[in-house]
Amino acid sequence: GVIDWGEQNRRATELLALVGLREDPETQIRHLGVGKQQLVEIDRALHKDVQLLILDEPTSTLNGTDSQHLLDLILGLKDRGVSSIIISHKLNEIEQIADSITILRDGHAIETLNVKSNGVDEDRIIRGMVGRSLQSRFPDRTPRIGEVFFEVRDWTVRHPQAPERLVCKNESFTVRRGEIVGLAGLMGAGRTELAMSVFGRSYGSYVSGQIFIDGREVVLNSVSDAIAHGIAYVSEDRTTLGLNLLDDIKDSVVSAKLGKVARGGVVDEAQERNAAESYRAGLRIKAPSVDEGVRQLSGGNQQKVVLAKWMFTDPRLLILDEPTRGIDVGAKFEIYGIIQRLAAQGSGVLLISSELPELLGICDRIYTIFEGRITADIPVSEADPETLMRSITTTQKKASTR
């Protein structure tokens, strides 16, 4: 009845290595990023003597290298007689790993395809998923980019639990009006840490660095300071940090800036409802009314509510952390359109994504990050997957092309 803690740690270390993690087994889960939490969850399932493994968007939080490692692991389990059901919107991964594909839409099975017999017809799958053809994965856009209005200089931040470790190392970047700027990097590179620390120092311990808005230095000591200066942050974890799942749509939409719908410190319910209805219609949130609980919504519609919540704050800079993670291609297309409309209205957008095609398809310029350092600043016209991969796997900083 006595636990052998040494043996437990040894075994945990072996299992972590199986999914490509090198973390101390005594690290608390809450101190890991969402991507690493996902790998630990998968590891826990693999520890059991399973015959059927059901994986719901297992690679949604992983970069390309880690995703491939996990797919290879699943294929290895298949060779050992373990069956897997994988829920995924990543068609390239489905093509690589699946024996059969069942297409679902609105709770109904549309059709099942045998990969060996039918191959993978992406257009056919997309039509089945969204009920219509998509001519392009990304909406057409003609950028109207203005002057630099947001700048971060020499930003340095320590890890919140390990002060000897720097998660942001002297990083500098700019965003122009109407510009969509990408942040590319491997899991653990420090993209989220940079975004959250800039957003009112909501992550880590600030060491040094400056933030300028319209050429004037500002100090953002809190999230409320950031919101007051027109900065919004859409978290990578919408169900934990982005939404309160006990709220309905109308409560969620106005929650980040209640003062806009309050009189004398009391929320005006009519204004609250009108604001929420406006966003429900404008963002095409699929729900019978704004009284619907956000828990009842699909992932894509939950993400639209999160976007509405931060759009309600009238942001000048919208920071988006993995905004299309775990949602289908139809909802992705709509969210890309929302992002582009914000940019067209003059807002700046800082987009973090682990999907390189997404960054290449929607951004005007891409910064690459490796181990807490910005390694390159690349116009999208000069970028391709190979260029980005080289820059997110090296500490050698390349000349800025700004």
Assign a CATH topology to domain 148-391.
Rossmann fold (3.40.50)
Please report the pLDDT score of residue 397 as a whole number.
Answer: 60
- b/e code 5-20 from CB counts within 10 Å (16+ = b): eeeeeeebeebbebbb
Query: Which one-letter DSSP state was computed for residue 248?
Result: B
pLDDT per 10-residue tile (average), the chain, 402 residues: 88 86 87 80 81 86 76 87 88 87 86 82 79 75 95 96 92 98 92 95 94 97 95 88 91 92 89 94 92 91 93 95 85 91 96 92 96 96 91 67 44
C-alpha dihedral sign at 149, 155, 159, 165: positive
Query: CATH code for 5-98?
Result: 3.40.50.300
Please report the pLDDT score of residue 45 as a whole number.
Answer: 82
CA atoms within 13 A on the CB side of 93: 23
Please report the pLDDT score of residue 402 as a whole number.
Answer: 46
Residues 272 and 285: their CA atoms lie apart, in Å, by: 16
Domain with CATH 3.40.50.300 in the chain: 5-98, 148-391
Within 10 A of 143 (CB to CB), how many other CB atoms are there?
A: 14
- pTM for the structure as a whole: 0.75
Residues 237 and 33: their CA atoms lie apart, in Å, by: 10
Residues 273 and 350: their CA atoms lie apart, in Å, by: 29
Residues 360 and 381: their CA atoms lie apart, in Å, by: 9
CA distances from 230 to 78, 140, 177, 192 (A): 50, 27, 13, 19
Residues 11 and 34: their CA atoms lie apart, in Å, by: 23
Residues 69 and 257: their CA atoms lie apart, in Å, by: 42
Residues 98 and 75: their CA atoms lie apart, in Å, by: 9
Q: Determine phi and psi for 282, rounding to 5 degrees.
A: -65, -35
